[in-house]
Structure 1
Amino acid sequence: MRWWSGHKAAARPNRVMRQGASVGRAASRRGGLGLLRRIWWLAVCMTMLVSVGWGATWLYREASPLVADWLQVREVTVVGAITLSRQEVVERLGLQPGETIFSVDVQKLTDRLEAHPWIKEARVSRKLPQTLVVGITERQAVAVLRTPSWALLLDADAHALSALKESEDPGLPVLVGIDPKAFLLGTTQSREAAQTGIKVARLVGHALHDRAEVDMGNAENAVAYVKGLRFQFGPSSFEEQWDRYRKIEHALRTGVSVRQGKSTAHCALHPFQETRQQRPGNGCPEIDLRYPGKVIVRERG
């Protein structure tokens, strides 16, 4: 009995060992099956991705011409053009045949438009499916720069807008005495002189309800001609100088007319019909505002 008991006890560890080995083999088989499943799913996913990519490429190739045709720019809406025509604006865009509303570079189109002398600001936007919307703000002509050989329209910032034909008279104030070569080269001095002349012309012309001619031959001494009067301005505040004249204007003009016994209408200047040598003279008054606190009146002979 003791021998049997000992033999039975010795057999028990062997069974445990065999059972452990069986469990290990089963776990190994399950791990191998799991790995195979993962590899299989990975292969399926890769196949699906390749199929989707191929299908998308094929669809793009087939549909791209249709989409491009559907989105091709076929209409340009222009808003804000007054002096410029719609055709001029469209030509300035420089659109190429076949361009779509997504292939065009909106910033480049804007830059092209704003390079035009008449366009102060431009805005370009897309409107699906086939329209570009162009909004522009034009520069406004406020004066004419006249030289012995040509005349230019200027805006309030003294930007040159376009040349005038000899027969054209836009009825705007006229600037003279500015070096034409320096102005075309864009020198700071000539442009500032033009800006000063525009400011004086607007100030005097608005107050006297007539267009003025302003001689800017001397940048420190702007000379304005309007309604038979000649005004000399110094480099200080034009508004302050003009305010001095306005305070005595009525009495001054009445006194001059009484002394002359006639109207000053004969002194009127027609800027596009007369030369600088034919400016008002012979009894036409000159008002000198260059000296602080004074209004000096002279009668020119």
Structure 2
Amino acid sequence: MAIRRPILAEPDHRYLRRRANRRVRKQRLTRNLFRFMMVATVNAIIASIVIYAAFRGVDHFLRSDEFALERIELRGVEHGSAEALHTRLAPFNGRNLFYLSLDDIEHTLQRDPWVREASVKRMLPRAMRISITEREPVAWVLLHGVPHMIDETGFAIGPADTASDTNLPVITGVDGLPREQLLERIRMGVSLVERLNRTSPVFAAQVSELDLSSRDRVVARTSDGGPPLLLDPEQVERNVNTYLGLRSEIAHRVGPARYVDLRWRDRIAVMPNSKNRFQEGT
């Protein structure tokens, strides 16, 4: 009887290939991960060097005496005092230009009553240029017996001095009013002055005083010594140009007048000094 040899199963090469592929992928993943970590480490070192160098550079600019402020150039100062502005800016002298806050400098300058706006620019290595926009005075207002100059917003620039513009009209009749009413009347006076300047500049140049003590009238007095003129608060320019054309004739026919009322539409009322005379002109 013949003896059969056992049949040995051949190995499954599919499973061997899978195990080999796993080893290859694992080795490849390890290499890629190592390469990524090396690149990341190098980049981190380079970034640290750049940041450190930038920090040292900024620190040098902020601390170096090479950029200490030595000269301040002011532009646009006409009405105010350049000396007073330099005095206000004295605490900034000697400080590093890069360390200075331009906003702080602008706010410091705006504490001066003449300064409306200030634009500050650094000029390396040791200078600063400042352009000043000053307030434009439009009138005086009499407060507690002292004339104060005001701008187009009604802001009180300050009391009169020897360098003040004396050709501006004086707003009266507001002294002693409560604060809110005072501010309202001052803004009203400024608006009246600007409206006269726009609609009748010849007359506006002659106005020396605007009395706002009454709500139904504005009493204007002129620098030529003419009679008081009663103007309409709602339309201050009403009849003004007509009156300028008739002024000589009115003075000739009526003589000195107590006042001239220009508040009525298309009519000029003249009150003569004599109580028994009254005349109207069209």
Per the TM superposition, whether the score is higher than 0.5 is yes
Q: How many residues align?
A: 266
CA 1:84–1:186 in structure 2 vs 1: closer, same or farther (change >3 Å)?
A: farther
**Which one of the candidate residues 232, 236, 241 is aligned to 1:238?**
236
| 1:171 to 2:153 alignment | no
Cα distance, 1:37 vs. partner?
1.0
CA–CA separation in structure 2 for the residues paired with 1:39 and 1:193 = 79
Cα distance, 1:205 vs. partner?
7.3
Cα distance, 1:290 vs. partner?
2.5
Provide the residue aligned with 1:194 in structure 2: 189
Deviations 1:195-227 (A, max 9, x none): 255357757773285342222211321111111
Provide the residue aligned with 1:252 in structure 2: 250
Contact 1:143 1:155 survives alignment (8 Å): yes
CA RMSD of aligned residues (A): 3.9
Deviations 1:34-70 (A, max 9, x none): 1221232233134324423442354245433323236
Q: Name the aligned partner's letter for residue 300 of structure 1.
A: N
Contact 1:124 1:133 survives alignment (8 Å): yes
Contact 1:175 1:197 survives alignment (8 Å): no
**Which one of the candidate residues 254, 269, 280 is aligned to 1:296?**
269
Cα distance, 1:163 vs. partner?
1.0
Q: Name the aligned partner's letter for residue 289 of structure 1.
A: L
Q: Secondary structure at the match of 1:67?
A: helix
Cα distance, 1:22 vs. partner?
4.3
Structure-2-length-normalised TM-score = 0.72
Contact 1:143 1:174 survives alignment (8 Å): yes
**Which one of the candidate residues 35, 38, 41 is aligned to 2:32?**
38
Identity %: 17
Unmatched runs of 5 consecutive residues or more in structure 2: 275-282
Cα distance, 1:153 vs. partner?
0.7
CA 1:32–1:192 in structure 2 vs 1: closer, same or farther (change >3 Å)?
A: closer
Provide the residue aligned with 2:155 in structure 1: 159
CA 1:148–1:199 in structure 2 vs 1: closer, same or farther (change >3 Å)?
A: same
CA–CA separation in structure 1 for the residues paired with 2:126 and 2:10 = 85
| 1:228 to 2:225 alignment | yes
CA–CA separation in structure 2 for the residues paired with 1:207 and 1:285 = 19
Q: Secondary structure at the match of 2:229?
A: strand
**Which one of the candidate residues 107, 111, 115 is aligned to 1:119?**
115
CA 1:253–1:143 in structure 2 vs 1: closer, same or farther (change >3 Å)?
A: same
Q: Which has the higher helix share?
A: 1
CA–CA separation in structure 2 for the residues paired with 1:61 and 1:234 = 68
Q: Which moved more, 1:193-202 or 1:117-126?
A: 193-202
Cα distance, 1:295 vs. partner?
0.9
Cα distance, 1:25 vs. partner?
4.0
Unmatched runs of 5 consecutive residues or more in structure 1: 260-282
Deviations 1:131-153 (A, max 9, x none): 55433321212222124531101
